[in-house]
Structure 1
């Protein structure tokens, strides 16, 4: 199963405080462990929400709002995409993770939808389209 692992933001990450060299080293070692275990598919840290925007949809209208956004603890400061055997395995890996922020912090784990989760709604045509898109993405990543 694929899971998205969200590192929740804090006041420090939202004000642009850069992690210490020690934390960067510890996280680099953790990421190496994930890669060696074949779990890590992707992962990045995110700039503070002050550098982002939100696009609100209401019918055909689109409204763009510039950051920052609040409350900080409801925002995402970084993420990983992992391939694991179970939620239990994902939890075990998160428990091994260095604390990603100075002070208290939180990590959220959510399953990623897989094609079979949609059952009959995913028609053969939609499945073919999904396969084509995934192949295009993989080709670009290999370039």
Structure 2
């Protein structure tokens, strides 16, 4: 099984000094995001797309994540318990989410290091993603085809959908102690339903890719575009021990 371990924003994560060196070195495969002041959210309605510049509320933000292989959610949570050793902040909230989506949408990890500016595209959750409906086969086919074309063009480096939070959990690390809270989680504004790691020569090119992508949601949806902190770029998937 594959899990996304999400480091939620807090404290220094909205600083340009993030991520600290210990976090970069201590979390295998970590992908760390620059502050949301450098990012944007794109909202689609029946009238088309609009772009909204950051920064955004701290409780709605992802600071970074890694993808791990683990035999079970319990094993993924056990792996996550060691996170505080690497994180200079000490008090950290993590979210452990199983990857994948209903239907036959394919996860991506090319293993390629970016040669252009890397961006993470976060699909923001809504009632539909948490209900986990199975998209029509033609929708899945369009997504898989677009992903494959993006990989072939050197734009898409990685990506995966996320199972609903009813299958996930949060881990609050405080003072060396860990408290587990099982999903589902009700604050949709805090949740994501999937991600893509892409690269582009300019942010506008990244925006153009988003606006052309055949997302399965609609007509109303939102994605967040965040630049990856260059010293935090990593591609390998970490095994859980």
- Report the TM-score range of the alignment, normalised by the length of the smaller protein: 0.7 to 0.9
Select the structure of larger CA radius of gyration. Answer: 1
Partner residue of 2:130 out of 5, 9, 14: 14
Partner residue of 1:41 out of 133, 157, 163: 157
Q: What SS class does the counterpart of residue 106 from structure 1 fall into? A: strand
Q: Cα distance, 1:2 vs. partner?
A: 0.8
CA-based RMSD: 2.3
Q: Structure 2 matches for 1:12-91, cutoff 5 A? A: 12-91=128-207
Partner residue of 2:209 out of 88, 93, 100: 93
Runs of 4+ in 1 over 6 A off after TM superposition: none
Q: Cα distance, 1:41 vs. partner?
A: 0.8
Contact in 2 for aligned 1:2/1:81 (Cα 8 Å): yes
Q: What SS class does the counterpart of residue 30 from structure 1 fall into? A: helix
Q: How many angstroms apart in 2 are the aligned matches of 1:90 and 1:62?
A: 37
Q: How many angstroms apart in 1 are the aligned matches of 2:135 and 2:188?
A: 17
Contact in 2 for aligned 1:53/1:64 (Cα 8 Å): yes
Q: Cα distance, 1:73 vs. partner?
A: 4.1
Gap runs ≥5 in structure 2:
1-116
Q: Cα distance, 1:75 vs. partner?
A: 1.1
Identify the structure with the greater helix proportion. 1
Identify the structure with the greater strand proportion. 2
Q: What SS class does the counterpart of residue 226 from structure 2 fall into? A: strand
TM-score (norm 1): 0.75
Q: How many residues align?
A: 122
Q: How many angstroms apart in 1 are the aligned matches of 2:192 and 2:136?
A: 19
Structure with the larger RCO, 1 or 2 (CA within 8 Å, 6+ apart): 1
